[in-house]
Chain A
């Protein structure tokens, strides 16, 4: 439904506007009272006919190919609706307001037709404008959503890292290493510091190069590697040309965390987490795979909040062209991110 018709006050204001225009026509054409009584309601009717571009504009957006189609369609509809309206006027005037002897209304009707066509086209232009403004507002909202989701992801990454899962266990490992292997204990402290610093302030950046994100993921996995020991093995296959692609920050790390928490950590023998990044045509594809025991039945109860956040952020950041696909065969779980491969702007 047309947004003007959805609100009663707007509909009323719009009707009043057209009554005024009708009055102007009566004045300009110096019409008698009997004729005016027919013409003014007709003008009002035309006012509502002028709302049809709303549908036409959506059906034939300006950017659609071929280029000539939208204006041609609008012009055709303008001509047809103006003719029909003039014919209706002709019929009504003949029956309701008998013309002065010998005279006809043809002059009046052609004047009405002549004004109706440009007015309809003006309405088309205004509708295109309104839709463009609307679209940019939607884009703005989407950008705002993307930003707030990114902030949430940073918070979550921090909180997840600062919960027992990660920080306390890491500290316990460091505590064990201080006597057994002091250099390793120091390495672990440095890794932990780098990782925590890396996750800070990322939400203020809209996009970071994939390389930066993967460095963060590497730090995270290196820390977990110390804890898991032999139970965790890592495989990487990173195409060098993928490293400079711009991605939203903290979009791969939750997948790596998920692969450990729900995959490797749940298995007695652990397993291999594989990370792959490559360019596929115009898209960047990042895949994380981990072994699982059996179909993901146990997990169906609690939704994977991390995955959901990644999916929503891709939607918010890229609309339909960015997506997260998850799947598996009961042996391996696979999460795949696809997004447009746009390089980070070179900054000196």
Chain B
């Protein structure tokens, strides 16, 4: 038996007693080191970025940022065990490659089994699933109400109503809101699928625009046009983009 490196673990739960019971269980397990406790998702994202723990014990129902949103922001490199009172999220949890899914009230034995699974997995890095598997299909959850972007240890929450336009930048997309641009690693097509198709239209290979921000559309060349936003910004419109735009405006 080689001596194992301690499994550096953080607990994320908004209820003090729920954190306490996990803390107590972890204290009784050899080779597990509790490095931090977080009372909400924002703290969790910050702590993961700063301490890169080996394991996150994560509640799902939390204020402002739920467990799934935390996973979306910290990425799949960090193993996650969900600990929740809800059994209906299990399918989604395994879709985001959670190591395990524990139901409250939690037993020490069950937590021990889950941690043993983390150790089994640790040597071989799990293959990263495509980002799209993170969320259930749009048809099941409706269009996004907000966009989450992680910037180092900080999390930006952008209300979709406050979103002016989205721009593709190589492997990233830039979310433009109130004069700021927030970069996130995600394909533009996926953003398009998430946004409300009645409020946002893809006017160009690289641009999605919020309909309410458009001041007017002007011709540029024989085949292309340009959208002028209310703040004066100009965005290119492709031929098929113009068709989608007029279809949406006629339908409205």
Tell me the A residues contacting B by CB distance below 8 Å.
164-165, 168-169, 171-177, 179-180, 226-231, 265-268, 293, 298, 301
Contact = CB atoms under 8 A, between A and B. Distances in A.
A169 B85 contact: yes
Nearest to B43: A268
Contacts of B15: 169, 172-173, 227-229
Contact of B142 (A169, A293, A301): A301
Contacts of B39: 268
Interface of B: 14-18, 20-21, 24, 39-40, 42, 61, 63-64, 84-87, 103-106, 142, 145
A168 B142 contact: no
Given A164-B85, A175-B105, A301-B142, A266 B64 contact: yes
B15 to A, nearest CB: 5
B1 to A, nearest CB: 30
A293 B65 CA distance: 13
Contacts of A298: 145
Interface of A, helix, strand, loop or mixed by DSSP = helix
Contacts of B104: 164, 168-169, 171-172
A177 B63 CA distance: 23
Given A180-B24, A265-B63, 15 more contacts: A164-B87, A164-B104, A165-B85, A168-B85, A168-B105, A169-B18, A172-B21, A172-B106, A176-B17, A176-B18, A176-B21, A176-B24, A179-B24, A266-B64, A268-B42
Which of A169, A227, A229, A266 gathers the greatest number of chain B CB atoms within 10 Å? A169
Contacts of A179: 24
Given A266-B64, A267-B63, A164 B17 contact: no
B63 A229 contact: no
Nearest to A179: B24
B63 A172 contact: no
A164 B145 contact: no
Contacts of A230: 16
23 contacts: A169-B85, A172-B18, A172-B104, A173-B17, A175-B21, A175-B106, A176-B17, A176-B24, A179-B24, A180-B20, A226-B17, A227-B17, A229-B15, A231-B14, A265-B61, A266-B63, A266-B64, A267-B63, A268-B39, A268-B40, A268-B63, A298-B145, A301-B142
A330 to B, nearest CB: 14
A180 B27 CA distance: 14
Contacts of A176: 17-18, 20-21, 24
Contacts of B84: 164
Contacts of A172: 15, 17-18, 21, 85, 104-106
Which 4 A/B pairs are nearest by Cβ-Cβ distance? Answer: A164-B85, A176-B21, A168-B85, A172-B104
Nearest to B146: A298
A38 to B, nearest CB: 68
B17 A177 contact: yes
Contacts of A173: 15, 17-18
